[in-house]
Amino acid sequence: MGSMHKAIEENATSLEHHFLIAMPQLRDPNFNGTVTYLWRHDDNGALGVVINRCSRLPISDLMSELKITVSDDMVARLSEKKVMAGGPVERSKGFIVHPTTDEWEYTMRVNDDVSLSMSKDILQAIARGEGPDRYLIALGCAGWESGQLEQEISDNAWLTVPADPEILFSEDFDNMAKAAAGILGVSLNQLSSLTGHS
C-alpha cells in the first residue's frame, strides 16, 4: 500500500490524462507498439484505452449490431472509420473518448479537454451526425491493479507523456507513438537503442 502512495506523491499527481507509450522491450502482444490513453489512475489502480490499434470492425457495423440507425449523410464516414481495439479487458464494452462538451447518460469527465462516455445515447447522436465532432470509439480497455502500473513503469515498460488532444483525436494511428514520444523530444528509435534492442 505504501508504494502506491509514495509513487503518486513523488509524481505529485496521478497519471490521469497521460499517454502510455509502449517501450520497445514490452513484448506483451496486447500492447506492443501501442499508445494508451489513461483516464483513471488512483490508489485502486489505473484504467485506459489503447488509441492506435484499429480493429477490423467499421463503426457502421457496430451501429448495426446495436440496432442504431445511421443517417444517410453519416453512412460513408462511419463505414470508413474503424472501432479501436481498446485493450484486453471488458472487450464487449464500448468506450467513447471525446472532447468535454455535452454530457451524455454515462459520461466521466477526465478534465476540461477530454471526457469518456459509455452509454448508447452518444452513439445514437454520432449516428445522426449530432454527436461530438471528434471522438474515438473503442471496444475493450486496459486495466492495472493497485501498484501494478507503477511497477511496470519502473521496469521501463512504458514511457509516460501528458496527453495532447490533438494527438488523441488525430486518427494518424501509424505515427501516433512517434508523435506522442515527440512531446518529450525523444524518438522511439533512440529508446530502442538505449534499451539494447534495435
User: pLDDT tens digits for 90-113?
Assistant: 988 999 999 998 778 899 999 999
For 151-156, the CB contacts below 8 A with 24+ separation are: 156/23, 156/25, 156/195
Q: How many residues does the chain have?
A: 198
What are the residues whose beta carbons fall under 8 Å from the beta carbon of 133, sequence distance 6 or more? 99
pLDDT the model gives residue 13: 61
In a domain, 193, yes or no: no
Element (H, E) at 2: helix 2-11
Q: What is the pTM of this model?
A: 0.87
What are the residues whose beta carbons fall under 8 Å from the beta carbon of 22, sequence distance 6 or more? 31, 32, 33, 34, 35, 36, 157, 158, 177
In a domain, 195, yes or no: no
pLDDT the model gives residue 191: 66
In a domain, 56, yes or no: yes
Cell for 196?
Answer: 539494447
pLDDT the model gives residue 192: 58
Helix (H, G, I), strand (E, B) or coil at 13: coil
**What CATH number did the domain enclosing 116 receive?**
3.40.1740.10
| Residue-by-residue pLDDT tens, the chain, 198 positions | 344 433 444 444 689 999 999 998 888 888 989 999 999 999 999 999 999 999 999 999 999 999 999 999 999 999 999 999 999 999 889 999 999 987 788 999 999 999 999 999 999 999 999 999 899 999 999 999 999 999 999 998 999 999 999 999 999 999 999 999 999 888 877 765 454 333
In a domain, 159, yes or no: yes
pLDDT the model gives residue 1: 39
Distance in angstroms (rounded) separating the CA atoms of residues 81 and 54 = 9
Distance of CA 114 to CAs 9, 44, 100, 158, Å? 24, 21, 5, 22
Q: Which amino acid is at 35?
A: V
In the numeric block, the cell 462516455 is attached to: 117
In a domain, 194, yes or no: no
Task: Domain count for the chain, please give it.
Answer: 1
What is the extent of the structural domain holding 128?
Answer: 2-187
